[in-house]
Structures are given as C-alpha cells and as structure tokens.
Amino acid sequence: MSTDNFNQYVTEEFETKTRDLLTDSSPDIQPVFGELGIICNRSDISSVCKLLKDDPEISMKYLRSISVVDWVEHMEVVYHLSSIEHMNRIVVKVKIPLEDLRVDSVINVWAGADWHEREGHDLFGIEFIGHPDMAPLILYEGFEGFPGRKSFEIPSQETLYGD
C-alpha cells in the first residue's frame, strides 16, 4: 500500500510562523486536509499575499492557481500557494458578497496571476481591481452571461436526446 497520497504539508512550526506573520490582519488560520487554510478579509488579500511571498521562511513564491467558487449566497476566490524551497502549501480564501463582486488583484505580487484573474472575470464576472486588462480571455466579445456560475444552466441529457 502506498501512503504517498496523504502527504501533510503543514508542520506546527510553520503554522505558528504564519500566525505571527499575519497578526495584523488577523485572518482565520486552520490546517485543512494537510494544507494550511487561511480565510482572510476581502480588503487584506493583496497585503496578506505580499507578506506570505516576501517572508523568507514562508516564501510562497509560486502561485499555483486562482479559482473561483460560486456558493450561490456568495462567491469565493481561492488562491493556492506553494513554496518551492520548503514544500509548504497554503490555501487562501476570500469571501465576496454578491452585491459587490470586486476584489484586489494580486498581479503585483505574482505576474502569473494575470490570466487566472482574467479567467475568473470571464466565467464568474468578478472584477479584480488593479488588473491592467480585463478583456475577455477565453470567451469572446459579446458572450452573454457568466458560464461558471451556478445560475448558468447547461442542458440536461433529457432535453438533448429526449427520453
């Protein structure tokens, strides 16, 4: 039996270090499924990311992806960070209310955030403040609606083929 599938990416030491680093913005920090989950305020995201990246011991230099999840009552932007040197993994989550779908861009922290954010804008309609170019990336000009959202329905098998 192999156990490699259940790697742990968080040590206690790492957790305390992260806690100390982020005392100012006081986010909610908890290990979840082997990774360190940080739920942070919408206004803090870019400063939190900057701290996580620049700290030499945490050194989250590698932004793996930015995902958007539609929870119907609110949206959530999820940042998967990783450090190449220490093999620690952090997941940062930000809640975004439906009335105001905006969040600060992290493109100044990682250049690689560029297309991930544009994709989030395309599929979910979230605006990333400070991103230089929010033109459609994978959808075309004039596409109606936001296909990533739960409210955007795809046809079921039955409507396509009958019974």
Partner 1 sequence: METKATVIRDQDSDTAELRINMGPQHPATHGVFRMVLTLDGERVVNVEPHIGYLHRGSEKLSEGENFQQITTLFDRLDYISNFNNEWVYVRVLERAMEVEIPERAEFIRIILGELNRVASHFLFYGTYGLDIGAMNPVMIGFRERERIQALFEGVSGARMMHNYFRVGGVKEDLPDGFVPAVNILLDQLKRGYEDARNTLTESEIFIERTAGIGKLGPEKTLDYGVTGPVLRAAGVDYDIRKADPYSMYSQLDFKIPLGSHGDCYDRYMVRMLEIEQSINIIEQCVANLPEGPIQGKVPRILRPPEGDFFVHGENPRGDLGVYLVSAGGTVRPYRLKIRGPSFSNLMALSSMMEGAYLADSTVILGSLDIVLGEVDR
Partner 2 sequence: MAIEPRNLSESSHGKDRLILPEEAKGAWSSIKENRKSGISGVVTLKSEELFAMARKSSLWPLTFGLACCAIEMISTYMPNHDFDRFGVVTWPSPRQSDVMIVAGTVVKKMAEPIKLLYEQMASPKWVIAMGSCATCGGPYVRSYSVVMGVDQIIPVDVYVPGCPPRPEALLGGVMELQDIIQKEPRKKRGL
By beta-carbon proximity to partner 2, the closer residue of 12 and 158 is 158
Out of partner 1, partner 2, none, what residue 160 binds, judged by CB under 5 to 8 A for its kind, is: partner 2
Calculate the CA dihedral of residues 62, 67, 71, 72 and round it to 10 degrees: 140
Would you call 90 helix, strand, or coil by DSSP? strand
Binding flags for partner 2, 135-154, as an x/- string (CB under 8 A): ----xx------x----x-x
18: nearest Cα among 44, 37, 45, 34: 37
Asked if 160 touches partner 2 (CB under 8 A), the answer is: yes
Residues numbered 55 to 74 that lie near partner 1 (CB under 8 A) are 61-65, 67, 69-70
Q: What is the 3 state secondary structure string of 33-53?
A: CCEEEEEECHHHHHHHHHHHH
Which of 5, 23, 151, 157 is the binder for partner 2 (CB under 8 A)?
157
Out of partner 2, partner 1, none, what residue 23 binds, judged by CB under 5 to 8 A for its kind, is: none
DSSP-assigned states of every residue in 113-162: HHHHHHHHHHHH--EEET-S----SSSPTT--S-TTSTTS----HHHHH-
Cα(110)–Cα(83) distance, integer angstroms: 13
Other Cβ atoms closer than 10 A to 81: 25
Using CB under 8 A, which of the segments 13-21, 41-49, 95-103, 108-116 binds partner 1?
108-116
Residues that bind partner 1 (CB under 8 A): 1-2, 4-7, 9, 32-33, 35, 61-65, 67, 69-70, 78, 80, 84, 87, 89, 91, 110-112, 114-115, 123, 136-140, 147-148, 152, 154, 156
Residues that bind partner 2 (CB under 8 A): 139-140, 147, 152, 154-157, 160
